[in-house]
Amino acid sequence: MVDQPLMKNDEIVRLEKAEKLYQMGMQEVHALAGVTVSFRKGSFWAIMGPSGSGKSTMMNILGCLDRLTSGRYFLEGKDISSLDDDSLSELRLRHLGFIFQSFNLIPQLTVQRNIELPLYYLGWDSIRSAKRAEELAEEVGLGGRLHHRPTELSGGEMQRVAVARALANNPHVIFADEPTGNLDSATGEQILELLVRLNKQGKTIIMVTHEPDIARHAHNNLHMIDGVIDRIE
Amino acid sequence: MHKLRSFLTMLGVVFGVGSVVAMLSVGEGASKEALEQIRKLGSNNIIISAVKSAEEEATSTQHSHMSIYGLTYEDYRRLAESFSNIKKSAPVKLLRKESRLRERAMELRLVGTTPEWFELVPREVIAGRVLLSADQNKKAPVAVLTEFGARKILATENTIGQTIRIGGDEFEIVGIVKSESGQAGNIQIPDQQIDVYIPIEVARKYFGDIDRKRTSGSWSMEKVELHQIIAQVDNTENVESTAQAIEVMLKRFHKKKDYIVSVPLALLKQAEATKRTFNIVLGSIAGISLLVGGIGIMNIMLASVTERTREIGIRRAIGAKRRQIVLQFLIETVVLSTTGGIIGLGVGALIPFLITYFSGMMTVITLGGVLLPLLISMTIGIVFGLYPAMHAAKVDPIVALRHE
């Protein structure tokens, strides 16, 4: 199964002998040392492992933010291992959504403008964008906060804005990097419920976390250690 | 963007653009002023004036001495006949005479000349007519006054047809012209406000060539046939060579240097040279200010890129391409520099106003003088914004997202 080059119809991402090398001073570090794995469409994965295990690198590769040193990466059946920077940007813009531990909202923009950001790069007009931003804010439970600045919001609210922004381009895959890391457990639980709900609506969710309590919400857990897959649960 | 910091950064462009605007308006003003002077003098004219030579000046303090100097009728004839380049010329005889109309009296400058004068020194006719050759032939005692003289001496009376007394003789006023009095550089404008124009034959017949003046109890006498000859050259290119030839001719027939040949065109060239110097000096200042302003903007944009690394990372992660990041920062820089340019335009418009107010120098703000600095400030934004923008686009999104 591992060496099977053909994609199954319901596979959304697939790594084949993926390697990522970093030059750390004089030393070469294998952040990914030959990973072969595939995720099904509509699945909810939690990638776990201690720091330095390669889980963040895995996330960056899958999220098209970084490129493999060797090996191949298929996204929705297409080999994207050799795409250039602009094409990767285009992929992120059209098909992927991101949620980060530290929210990563732009502080000088209002909630509405933050949510509209992907739509701006997609070239949507302002009326359509505003309507979409309103719908999304409603969906994540942020109605009435559209004209606030991120700094006026609580952590949970900021992460809701980030989720709304990640959903703006109607992505196939949502990447969540420690989405609850900066939130208290009750608020974290709410964000997770939101992710579970999105997953039930058909979104593929790939989440990086080191907390087993959080990972419990995912269908599958992938444990990494020293750049290789330790075990899959 | 910090508001205060952006504003301070803009100041460099403000002053740069300000000095460009000031430079252009002062330069424009100077050339307009020069053209105005040339218009008053006539750009193709050569003005030959009689002056007392240095030796004559020394001896004229003696009693009952008669100084004889200046241009002669013969000079005028020779000038008119022997230069093919000279199309028109007018002899001028100048006398100061007391003029009166009933109880009103004033000293006028009597200009004995020919009808050609009015073609060489074109002035607007306000009423009546100028001198005609018929006046010349008939030796008619007619006079043309200037607007200023007419107001002074005729006051409310009907002007044309009045008879005024000049010296001891009566003249009929046939016309009134406007006058352009004043100085053009160091050349005296040919006409004055207190002029009264009469046919030269009449001036010669009535007043003769000898002028008696009573100065501090003694009489002095001067014999001057002509005080001025104005000659018009067919082509601007020939003005200077003709002036030199006239100088050579006069030197042959005059023992003493009792004449000056002046060329209004030389004044124009002098004005242009002054303008050039002005432009170089102000242009350098403006250039340095703009350079400093541009570097200031580049500096602040580089700082801004560093501060906003995380924002750049977010935008890149969401899907912004490198060139979109370049464009974003480039637009910000251009907005900054163009805003500076617009403020600079205001400052720049104020400077010529102050120059005109305090020095009386003419300044002109043209459309080009407004558009060019705006164009320059936009270009500054692009040139100095490009490096920071490229710098921003090189930011690695993974590193940027971890940036605090």
The pLDDT of residue B267 is 72
Closest-approach residue (CA) in chain B for A118: B318
pTM of the model: 0.69
Q: Which residues of A touch B316 (CB under 8 A)?
A: 89
Size of interface A-B (CB pairs under 8 A): 51
Q: List helix spans (H) across chain A.
A: 55-62, 85-95, 111-122, 126-139, 155-167, 185-200, 212-215
Structural domains in chain A plus CATH codes: 41-67+83-232 (3.40.50.300)
Q: Which amino acid is at A19?
A: E
Tell me the torsion sign for CA atoms A125, A131, A133, A139. Answer: negative
Share of chain A above pLDDT 70, in %: 96
> Whole-angstrom Cα distance, residue A209 to residue B44?
92
Is residue B331 within 8 angstroms of chain A, CB to CB? no
Q: What is the ipTM of this complex?
A: 0.92
Rg value, chain A, Cα: 18
Residues B20-25 have a mean pLDDT of 83
Residues B165-179 have a mean pLDDT of 85
Q: Does the structure show a pLDDT above 70 at A97?
A: yes
Burial B41-80 (b: 16+ CB within 10 A, else e): bbbbbbbbbbbbbeebeeebeeeeeebebbbbeebbebbb
Q: Determine the Cα angle at B161 with ends B160 and B163, to 5°.
A: 115
**Burial status of residue B327 (CB atoms within 10 A of its CB: 0-12, 13-18, 19 or more):** middle
End-to-end alpha-carbon separation of chain B, Å? 17
> Whole-angstrom Cα distance, residue B381 to residue A114?
27
Closest-approach residue (CA) in chain B for A109: B311
Residues 6 or more apart whose CB falls under 8 angstroms from that of A42 comprise A10, A199, A202, A203, A204
Q: Assign A221 to helix, strand or coil.
A: strand
Q: Which residues of B touch A150 (CB under 8 A)?
A: none
Q: Determine the Cα angle at B122 with ends B117 and B128, to 5°.
A: 85
Q: Do B318 and A117 touch (CB under 8 A)?
A: yes
* pLDDT tens column, A119-167: 999 999 999 999 999 999 999 988 788 999 999 999 999 999 999 999 9
Residues B250-273 have a mean pLDDT of 82
Alpha-carbon distances, residue B66 vs B8, B74, B214 (angstroms): 74, 20, 13
Is residue B320 within 8 angstroms of chain A, CB to CB? yes
The pLDDT of residue A62 is 94
Q: Does the structure show a pLDDT above 80 at B103?
A: no
**Looking at CA atoms only, how far is residue A176 from chain B in angstroms?**
13
Is residue A65 within 8 angstroms of chain B, CB to CB? yes
Residues B264-288 have a mean pLDDT of 79
Is residue A228 within 8 angstroms of chain B, CB to CB? no
The pLDDT of residue B44 is 83
> Whole-angstrom Cα distance, residue B129 to residue B144?
8
Q: Which residues of A touch B310 (CB under 8 A)?
A: 104
Residues 66-105 in A contacting B (C-alpha not used; CB under 8 Å): 66, 85-86, 89-94, 96, 98, 100, 104-105
Q: Per-residue DSSP letters for B77-96?
A: HHHHHH-TTEEEEEEEEEEE
The pLDDT of residue A2 is 43
Q: Which residues of A touch B315 (CB under 8 A)?
A: 106, 117, 121
The pLDDT of residue A3 is 45
Q: Does the structure show a pLDDT above 90 at B59?
A: no
